Structure 1
Amino acid sequence: MSVHDQAAAAVLSQLALAGDGAVLGLGLAYVAVRCILKFNADSAALTKIKQAPSVRVSDLRSLSSSGDDYSTTPIDQHDDGGKLVVVRGSVEPKSALEGGGNWKSLVSAGGHGVLISQESGEKGVILQRTHTCIYNEWRGFFGWTSDLRTLFARSWKEQESSTMRTVPFILVDPERWPEPSHVVVDMEGSRHPLPLTTVYHNLRPVTATPYTFLQALFGHQYPVGLLEEEKLLPVGKEVTAIGIYNMKHETPVIKSCKDLPFFLSDLTKDQMVLDLDFKTRVLFWSGIVVGSLAVGILGYAVVRNWKRWKEWRQHRERQEQNSTSGDDPNDEEPDEDNGDVPDGELCVVCLMRRRRSAFIPCGHLVCCRRCAFTVERDLLPKCPVCRQSIRGSVRIYDS
């Protein structure tokens, strides 16, 4: 770790421990609340997935004709009249319905209805191309600018660009295809992760230029490579779709449910249940542990600050009592304190008057009365010698 990184870490640690850990406690409380909210959302999704029926594509029409008898729980019913179901099927382009189930004839006729990878030549219904610029960073002679970017922003430049193309596709039973039993997959509004397969992966180095040398000299990020990837959802791949099923114009359609973390996945229903069950357990115990730490740290910070405030109040009251009782630190014998005082008896603060006050509880006799009262008036009074917190001072008289 460089000197700049160590300084940044020290500043962040001091900020986190500010107020006797109050900032750290608030941060942990925020994390605990997020864990609990995520746990509630995943628990609700787990309950929905458990109660959703797992059917084959050929059984969907019979399911819709059976009305609401397939499930007695209202959790599967939605506002648009659809039903939450889990369907396992094979991916086929929607245009294959018009070609008698033979998508190869469609490809040979011009590639209509499917997407073809430019690099690998594989066919699919969803094609995603990603270009990622890989940056390297040498701090150079003015590398402190990179530390500022690290603290306040991840990067000033967009490092990744991605494009996605989709054609209409359906799910069918792989054993019965090309029979007409199918369900249309509606991708509109879906933000769920997709079970894409990487078909092309290439990393190309970027040729250095004089401008690259200047970037390195001033500690700026400069590109060293370009990563190109192509991912697609291939035709014939068997996936699981979990979403809202209904009939639109006598066509079976399934679309994503925003309350669920899955839509199209390689996992089966049982695997989804196990995955969500594990995540909910982790989130539950994480929320309890982090929440307990947050409560403990915040409680400690509140108690410590409350005690400090009470000590400050008591200290102010003692000062007011001393001022009203006539015990003025300025009422000292000028001849005795301001005369010829040996160096070993001078006040360590003003170096003019004789040491007269000992601090409590450390007992150090290092200040005159006037400087001792000045030290006591601080918000967090500490002994000038040992830096220990003090509660007050007492005047020492020579025998």
Structure 2
Amino acid sequence: MSVHDQAAVAVLSQVALAADGAVLGLALAYIAVRSVLKYKTTSSALNKVKKAPSVGVSDLRSVLSHSSDQDTDTTSCVDEKLVIVRGVVEAKSVVNGNWKKQNVLVSHESNEKAVILQRTQTCIYNEWRGFFGWTSDFRSLFARHWKEQESSSLRTVPFILVDGGRWPQSDYLAVNLDGSKHPLPLTTVYHNLQPINASPYTFLQAFFGHEYPVGLLDEEKILPVGKEITAVGLVSLRNGIPEVMACKDLPFFLSNMSKDQMVVELDFRTKVLLWSGVVIGSLATAILGYSVVRNWNRWKEWRQRRQIQQQNAAEESSEAEADVAAEEGGDVPEGQLCVICLMRQRRSAFVPCGHLVCCPRCALSVERDLSPKCPVCRQTIRSSVRIYDS
């Protein structure tokens, strides 16, 4: 571990353990609340997937015939319309009678026919702290030593799902990707990482501690024609044609998994989120409880010390006033007058110089100065001592 990493860890540990771990407890409590909320969402999605019927493309019309006149633009999941369909990807131009010239995409690298083509180019940057590139520890805590700048292009054509093997043109499921942010079951057909040759400008960037490119990653992913996938979403009849749309309440839309595999994965997620929420929540409660008790005890101790200091100051002040009153009632011997007020007898000696030149009242006023000094030798004093005659 480098020096900057050690400093970052030290700063992070000090922040986390501030106020006897209160910051750490609040952070863990936030994580526990997020886990519980995700558990509720995942549990709801699990129940909906379990209840959703798993049918073939040819059985969709019989399943949706009772709801063909309902609104199909709704954005929330309805259990009666949530269907799981397993089918094979085909271009929509196939059912439009255009067999000779299909409206499909072709991969630049593998020449495979596809309905979705994603091309990604990622430039990887490395940041080295050069001779003039040192920064503060606080910035190193949040700085990223490795950075990526990505440019991606996604091309799609209308496609459908059909039953495997021979299928009539009338039995198919149209796929609507509008508004879907779910991951797509794409297949990587090209992956190439090329190093970038260093130049004199790159050397200058590294020397002064700036980021510089070290590699270029090219990837191409496609959804090929003829691939068997599962669609989980809101299925309805649009102009007499079954169409599936993504459901925002579910983590899946188009997937390689079957219904049983989805149920197993969601069940595992719910268990992990539930137990993580319970364990982290219990740990956060314990840390916050310990922090509250410790800070409460510290506040009580500070309050007791404050009261004792006030009582001692009041007693000293009363004693000084009593001594002053007693001394003012009589004559002060010559040479024993206070050098400040010239009215009362010298009774307080300064520490550490030891000069006995002030009365108790003036000694207290000297001690309360911002930089208390002996009025005789001008040495800095810490306190004064009351001198009694035996």
- Determine if the TM-score, normalized by the shorter chain, exceeds 0.5: yes
CA-to-aligned-CA distance 1:288-313 (integer Å, 9 cap, x gap): 11111111111111111111111111
- Work out the CA distance in 2 between the residues paired with 1:81 and 1:152: 45
- Work out the CA distance in 2 between the residues paired with 1:333 and 1:146: 51
Instruction: Establish whether residue 30 from structure 1 lines up as the match of residue 30 from structure 2.
Output: yes
Q: What is the match of residue 58 of structure 2?
A: 58
Moved more, 47-56 or 155-164: 155-164
Alignment counterpart, residue 295 of structure 1, candidates 272, 285, 299? 285
- Work out the CA distance in 2 between the residues paired with 1:146 and 1:369: 39
CA-to-aligned-CA distance 1:345-397 (integer Å, 9 cap, x gap): xxxxx9x99xxxxxxxxxxxxxx98499xxxxxxxxxxxxxxxxxxxxxx9xx
Q: What is the match of residue 90 of structure 2?
A: 92
- Alignment check: 8 A CA contact 2:235 2:242 kept: yes
- Alignment check: 8 A CA contact 2:127 2:145 kept: no
Q: How many residues align?
A: 334
**3-state SS in 2 of match to 1:223:** strand
**3-state SS in 2 of match to 1:325:** helix
- Work out the CA distance in 1 between the residues paired with 2:200 and 2:273: 51
- Alignment check: 8 A CA contact 2:173 2:244 kept: yes
Amino acid at match of 1:93: A
- Alignment check: 8 A CA contact 2:123 2:149 kept: yes
- Alignment check: 8 A CA contact 2:119 2:153 kept: yes
- Work out the CA distance in 2 between the residues paired with 1:133 and 1:155: 14
User: How far apart are residue 243 of structure 1 and its match?
Assistant: 0.2
In structure 2, list runs of 5 or more residues that go unmatched.
69-74, 324-346, 356-370, 375-380
Amino acid at match of 1:98: N
User: How far apart are residue 10 of structure 1 and its match?
Assistant: 0.8
- Alignment check: 8 A CA contact 1:55 1:88 kept: yes
Alignment counterpart, residue 161 of structure 1, candidates 134, 151, 163? 151
- Work out the CA distance in 2 between the residues paired with 1:202 and 1:244: 38
Q: What is the match of residue 194 of structure 2?
A: 204
User: How far apart are residue 11 of structure 1 and its match?
Assistant: 1.0
Q: What is the match of residue 217 of structure 1?
A: 207
**3-state SS in 2 of match to 1:201:** strand
Instruction: Establish whether residue 308 from structure 1 lines up as the match of residue 295 from structure 2.
Output: no
Q: Larger Cα Rg: Structure 1 or Structure 2? A: 2
- Alignment check: 8 A CA contact 2:352 2:382 kept: no
Q: What is the match of residue 176 of structure 2?
A: 186
Q: What is the match of residue 345 of structure 1?
A: none
Q: Percent identity?
A: 63
- Work out the CA distance in 2 between the residues paired with 1:90 and 1:335: 97
Q: What is the match of residue 241 of structure 1?
A: 231
- Work out the CA distance in 1 between the residues paired with 2:351 and 2:190: 92
User: How far apart are residue 118 of structure 1 and its match?
Assistant: 1.2
- Work out the CA distance in 1 between the residues paired with 2:8 and 2:242: 58
- Alignment check: 8 A CA contact 1:329 1:370 kept: no
Amino acid at match of 2:234: I
Aligned Cα root-mean-square deviation (Å): 3.2
Identify if the C-alpha distance between structure 1 residues 11 and 335 changes in structure 2 by more than 3 Å, giving closer, same or farther: closer
Amino acid at match of 1:12: L
- Alignment check: 8 A CA contact 2:351 2:383 kept: no
Amino acid at match of 2:44: A
Q: What is the match of residue 277 of structure 1?
A: 267
User: How far apart are residue 120 of structure 1 and its match?
Assistant: 1.5
Q: What is the match of residue 263 of structure 1?
A: 253
Amino acid at match of 2:256: D
Q: What is the match of residue 357 of structure 1?
A: none
- Alignment check: 8 A CA contact 1:322 1:328 kept: no
- Work out the CA distance in 2 between the residues paired with 1:197 and 1:166: 14
